Amino acid sequence: MIEADGLRRRFGATVALAGLDLRVPPGSVCGLLGANGAGKTTAVRILTTLLRADAGRARVAGFDVGRQPDRVRARIGLVGQHAAVDEVLSGRQNLVLFGRLHHLDAARARRVAAGLLDRFGLAEAADRPAGTYSGGMRRRLDLAAGLVHDPPVLFLDEPTTGLDPRARAEVWDYVRELSAAGTTVLLTTQYLEEADQLADRLAVVAAGRVVAAGTPDELKAALRGDRVDVALARAADLDAAARVAGAAAGAAAAVDAATLRVSVPVQDRVGALAAILPALADAGIAATDVVLRRPTLDEVFLRLTGAERGEVAA
């Protein structure tokens, strides 16, 4: 549904995209994950016909974004920082306006607007200026504005940036609902949790290209960073536990004194677990909790982008 090959774009001396490739199959949710300045927004602007690429090709919903922009525009919805609503007009006036500009007739535009206002919980505020809306309401109106023509492809450019947790969860629910109804979604986000929650597939962007792509589980597994974490009852056991668990798993264990935890990288997940627990018991070390875990997306992301932990806002 979205195919990009070798997209390049520079702004003066700055290279925003350095050959970005992307495939988003119909009906899936693809998360474009990257730090600020990685090139996510430039990619979305090119795919939504707002910006020309210097080189490369992209097709959205079957049409070339450079050569048939109107065909693409009729089939996409754009939600995010870069496609705002009119703050002077009411929510209803905004939706009717965008419906009319999608060439719905007046009566139909009004019907569609009323339906979307209901669906996004804005019926009560429908006739107030959009400038008076709260952050969450604004974002719901943005979302509704991207849906007036029922587009098969939806672009969400950092849809929850600046929202409180409740408003964020609401937006997530709407995205899941749309995805369940068959809409193809391309989502950019800096929030790993958001990508993990919503996306079927992830593309990690750094310095203008996709450095890794796959399902969230594939990405995590690709790093082979499965670990067993053991939480201990007594601080005095930390060193002994690290030695015993490390020996049982055949790897060096890390000690976190602050949380009374010992963490061991493992290859054979179940086998390692089966070896570590009896060894600890034999050594008379009391464990309060044991977790077998994949690395978090944060860890994957940091490894892939080579960024320092402090630089990535999550």
The mark string for 70-109 relative to another protein (x by CB under 8 A, - otherwise) is xx-xxxx-x--xxxxxxxxx---x---xx-xxxx------
Q: Which of 32, 37, 27 is nearest to 4 (CA)?
A: 32
CB of 99 to another protein, least distance (A): 10
Judged by CB under 8 A, the number of residues near another protein is 37
Give exposure, 143-173, as e/b (b: 16+ Cβ within 10 Å). Answer: bbbbbbbebbbbbbbbbbbebeeebbebbbe
Distances from the Cα of 2 to the Cα of 5, 19, 120, angstroms? 10, 16, 27
Q: Which stretch binds another protein (CB under 8 A): 148-156, 167-175, 232-240, 257-265?
A: 148-156
Q: State yes or no: residue 151 binds another protein (CB under 8 A).
A: yes
Instruction: Decide: 7 and 43 in contact? Cβ < 8 Å.
Output: yes
Please identify, among the stretches 142-150, 166-174, 201-209, 298-306, the one whose residues bind another protein according to the rule CB under 8 A: 142-150
Separation CA 146–CA 243 (nearest Å): 57
Q: Name the minimum Å distance from CB 172 to another protein.
A: 23
When asked if residue 55 is in the footprint of another protein (CB under 8 A), the reply is no
Q: Is 167 in the site for another protein (CB under 8 A)?
A: no
Q: Which of 15, 50, 247, 292 binds another protein (CB under 8 A)?
A: 50
Nearest to 43 by CA among 62, 73, 18, 14: 18
CB of 146 to another protein, least distance (A): 9
DSSP 8-state code for residue 49: T
61 binds another protein (CB under 8 A): yes
The one-letter code for the residue type at 205 is: V
Taking the complex as a whole, the smallest distance from the CB of residue 90 to another protein amounts, in Å, to: 8
What is the 8-class DSSP label of residue 299? H
Note the residues at the interface with another protein (CB under 8 A). 9, 11, 48-52, 61, 70-71, 73-76, 78, 81-89, 93, 97-98, 100-103, 129, 145, 149-152
